[in-house]
């Protein structure tokens, strides 16, 4: 049987490259959508050879990428304009998340893409003050409005944050708690990548056209995470506030006058600290992808993958 072709938008990103790996493990043919300036090194080292060059802010380039022959069976959209990665490297802004994603949906619809798997954000429909959250909800609505077949995976906070500050801290016995006293739903990004690959390749069409919360079995507080790290590492790890209290005194000022990227991050942090980042619907994830990963197991795998513990002989 011929390998199914899946186009990954944002393939050079942190999650994007994990999605590429998950697709290759399932023997799919990966078509990586990258920008002319994207660093392809990691993708090439994974064995990707099929690249299409496009920018979400350039509709013609998207049209060309999505009509490349042979056509892809699915598109997984993991690009982000408002992330630290792209803000740092390309001076991107929210235009990618708004106009860019709209362009992508239009191009997918015009090209007759059978399904789009959107990497979305947990509770994005309830966070109008957090730009990069609410923009995901706008894209979900636009997919439905355009009748473009889709599945939105509304992910919890990545256990392995984009700029991974956790591993170096837990090595020194500290879990950096970004929202002390508040539980947050999390997901280890390789699990999200595996779900995205399954959604693109295996799920029946009857599973499409909905949004699914994607997270671990329970929301976790900092102390609960610290306990899981203590067990995984076999030495004490304690939760400590990630930011000194003084920071919160000046945040309103920064939020008012800071650059959009920083304002967005501050709004997201405020939302997390109010307890907004918690799933109220775990059944759909279980029905489509099986038992939810536990915090304990996710932390144990994270520790192994980051080289914090020696792999056990199997």
Ligand X SMILES: NC(=O)c1ccc[n+]([C@@H]2O[C@H](COP(=O)([O-])OP(=O)(O)OC[C@H]3O[C@@H](n4cnc5c(N)ncnc54)[C@H](OP(=O)(O)O)[C@@H]3O)[C@@H](O)[C@H]2O)c1
Output the smallest distance, CB 280 to ligand X, in A: 16
Give the position of tokens 């690249």.
Answer: 51
When asked if residue 89 is in the footprint of ligand X (CB under 6 A), the reply is yes
Rounded to an integer, what distance in angstroms lies between the CA atom of residue 23 and that of residue 192? 12
Nearest-5° Cα angle at 129, 293 to 137: 55
Rounded to an integer, what distance in angstroms lies between the CA atom of residue 179 and that of residue 70? 47
When asked if residue 16 is in the footprint of ligand X (CB under 6 A), the reply is yes
> Which of 26, 90, 146, 301 touches ligand X (CB under 6 A)?
90
What DSSP letter does each residue of 93-131 carry, written as one string?
-TTIIIIIHHHHHHHHHHHT-S-EEEEEETTGGG-TTSH
When asked if residue 155 is in the footprint of ligand X (CB under 6 A), the reply is yes
Residue 49-88 contact track with ligand X, rule CB under 6 A, x = bound: ------xxx--------------------xxxx-x-xx--
> Is residue 8 within a helix (H) or strand (E), and if so which, with residue range?
strand 5-9
- 97/227 with CB nearer ligand X: 97
Output the smallest distance, CB 88 to ligand X, in A: 9
Residue 248-287 contact track with ligand X, rule CB under 6 A, x = bound: ----------------------------------------
Phi and psi, residue 175, nearest 5°? -100, 120
When asked if residue 126 is in the footprint of ligand X (CB under 6 A), the reply is no
Q: Closest Cα partner for 18 from 151, 156, 160?
A: 160
> Which of 14, 134, 139, 285 touches ligand X (CB under 6 A)?
14
- 93/230 with CB nearer ligand X: 93
The answer to whether 8 touches 16, Cβ cutoff 8 Å, is yes
The answer to whether 166 touches 308, Cβ cutoff 8 Å, is no
> Which of 10, 190, 219, 222 touches ligand X (CB under 6 A)?
10
- 78/253 with CB nearer ligand X: 78
Q: Which residues bind ligand X (CB under 6 A)?
A: 10, 12-16, 35, 37-38, 55-57, 78-81, 83, 85-86, 89-90, 92, 96, 100, 119, 121, 155, 157-158, 161-162
């Amino acid at each position: 049987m011929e390998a199914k072709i899946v186009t990954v938008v944002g393939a050079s990103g942190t999650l994007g490259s994990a999605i590429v790996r998950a697709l290759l493990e399932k023997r799919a043919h990966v078509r990586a959508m990258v920008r002319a300036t994207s660093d392809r090194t990691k993708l090439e080292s994974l064995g990707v050879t099929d690249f299409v060059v496009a920018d979400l802010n350039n509709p013609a380039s998207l049209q060309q990428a999505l009509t490349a022959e042979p056509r892809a069976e699915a598109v997984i959209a993991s690009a982000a304009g408002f992330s630290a990665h792209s803000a740092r490297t390309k001076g991107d802004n929210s235009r990618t998340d708004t106009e860019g994603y709209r362009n992508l949906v239009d191009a997918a619809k015009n090209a007759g893409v059978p399904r789009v798997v959107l990497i979305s954000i947990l509770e994005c429909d309830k966070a109008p003050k957090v730009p990069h959250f609410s923009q995901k909800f706008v894209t979900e609505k636009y997919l439905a409005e355009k009748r473009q077949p889709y599945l939105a995976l509304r992910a919890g906070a990545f256990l392995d944050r984009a700029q991974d500050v956790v591993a170096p801290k837990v090595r020194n016995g500290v879990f950096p708690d970004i929202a002390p006293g508040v539980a947050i739903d999390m997901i280890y990004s390789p699990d999200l990548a595996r779900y995205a690959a399954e959604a693109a390749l295996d799920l029946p069409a009857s599973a499409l056209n909905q949004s699914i919360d994607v997270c671990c079995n329970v929301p976790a507080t900092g102390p609960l995470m610290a306990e899981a790290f203590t067990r995984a590492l076999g030495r004490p790890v304690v939760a400590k506030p990630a930011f000194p209290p003084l920071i919160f005194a000046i945040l309103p000022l920064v939020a008012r006058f800071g650059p959009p990227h920083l304002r967005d991050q501050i709004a997201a942090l405020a939302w997390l600290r109010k307890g907004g980042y918690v799933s109220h619907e775990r059944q759909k994830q279980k029905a489509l992808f099986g038992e939810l990963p536990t915090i304990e197991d996710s932390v144990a795998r994270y520790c192994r993958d980051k080289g914090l513990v020696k792999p056990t002989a199997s």
